[in-house]
Chains A and B, each alone.
Chain A
Amino acid sequence: MSPADSDTIWVRHNRIDLAIHHLTNGSDPTHRPLLLLHGLGERTPDEVPPSVRWPGPVYGLDFTGHGQSTIPVGGGYTSEILVGDVDASLEQLGEVTILGRGLGAYIGLLIAAARPQQVMGVVMSDGPGLVGGGIHPGSPSVPFPAPWASNTPDPFALLELARDVRPPDYAQTYVRFVLESSKLDRALMVCAVARPEWLAAVAAEPGVGQGTVDEALQFYAEL
Chain B
Amino acid sequence: MVPDLTSEFLAQPDGVRRPDRRRVVDSAGVKISVAEWGDEQAPAMLLAHGGFDFAETLNRFAPMLADGGYRVVSWDQRGHGESAWAHLYSWEADIRDAASVLATLPDEPLPFIGHSKGGSMVMHLANVAPHRVSALVNLDGLPSGNNMPDVSELERTRMQRDEMDRWLAHRRTLSDKQRRPGTVQELAERRGRMNPRLTTEWLQYLVQVGARQEADGWRWKLDPTMRMGGFGPWRPEWSMLRLPGLGVPMLGVMGLEIEVMGWGSRPSDVEPYLPPGAQFEGLEGVGHFVHIEQPRLVADLILEFLS
Q: Interface of A with B (CB < 8 Å)?
A: 12-16, 64, 70, 72-78, 80-81, 83-84, 87-88, 91, 113-115, 136-137, 139-144, 156, 160, 163, 165-167, 170, 173, 177
A136–B230 alpha-carbon span in the complex (Å):
19
Given contacts A14-B225, A87-B168, A87-B171, contact A76 B93 (CB under 8 A): yes
Partner of B154, one of A13, A81, A115: A81
Please report whether the interface of chain A is mostly helix, strand, loop or mixed according to DSSP: loop
A76 engages B92 (CB within 8 Å): yes
- Cβ distance B231 to chain A, nearest Cβ, rounded Å: 6
Q: Which residues of A contact B28 (CB under 8 A)?
A: 73-75, 144, 156
Interface status of B278 (Cβ within 8 A of chain A): no
A144 engages B96 (CB within 8 Å): yes
Task: Please name the residue on chain A nearest to B79 by beta carbon.
Answer: A76
Q: Interface of B with A (CB < 8 Å)?
A: 27-30, 78, 86-90, 92-93, 95-97, 99, 124, 127-129, 154, 159, 161, 164-165, 167-168, 171-172, 174-175, 225, 230-235, 238, 242
A70–B87 alpha-carbon span in the complex (Å):
10
B87 engages A140 (CB within 8 Å): no
A75 engages B128 (CB within 8 Å): no
Please report whether the interface of chain B is mostly helix, strand, loop or mixed according to DSSP: loop
A221–B228 alpha-carbon span in the complex (Å):
40
A157–B119 alpha-carbon span in the complex (Å):
27
Task: Please name the residue on chain B nearest to A137 by beta carbon.
Answer: B238
B92 engages A166 (CB within 8 Å): no
Partner of A72, one of B87, B171, B232, B233: B87
**Contacts A142-B96, A165-B233 given; 5 further ones with Cβ under 8 A?**
A74-B30, A74-B78, A75-B92, A80-B167, A114-B164
- Cβ distance A115 to chain B, nearest Cβ, rounded Å: 8
Partner of A170, one of B127, B159, B174: B159
B86 engages A76 (CB within 8 Å): yes
B225 engages A78 (CB within 8 Å): no
A182–B14 alpha-carbon span in the complex (Å):
59
A2–B165 alpha-carbon span in the complex (Å):
34
- Cβ distance B49 to chain A, nearest Cβ, rounded Å: 18
Q: Which residues of B contact A165 (CB under 8 A)?
A: 233-234
Q: Give the most central of A74, A75, A136, A165: most B CB within 10 Å.
A: A74
Q: Give the most central of B88, B161, B175: most A CB within 10 Å.
A: B88
A14–B93 alpha-carbon span in the complex (Å):
18
- Cβ distance B236 to chain A, nearest Cβ, rounded Å: 12
B95 engages A72 (CB within 8 Å): no
A198–B87 alpha-carbon span in the complex (Å):
28
Partner of A76, one of B89, B127, B159: B89
- Cβ distance B232 to chain A, nearest Cβ, rounded Å: 5
B92 engages A14 (CB within 8 Å): no
A16 engages B96 (CB within 8 Å): no
A76–B97 alpha-carbon span in the complex (Å):
10
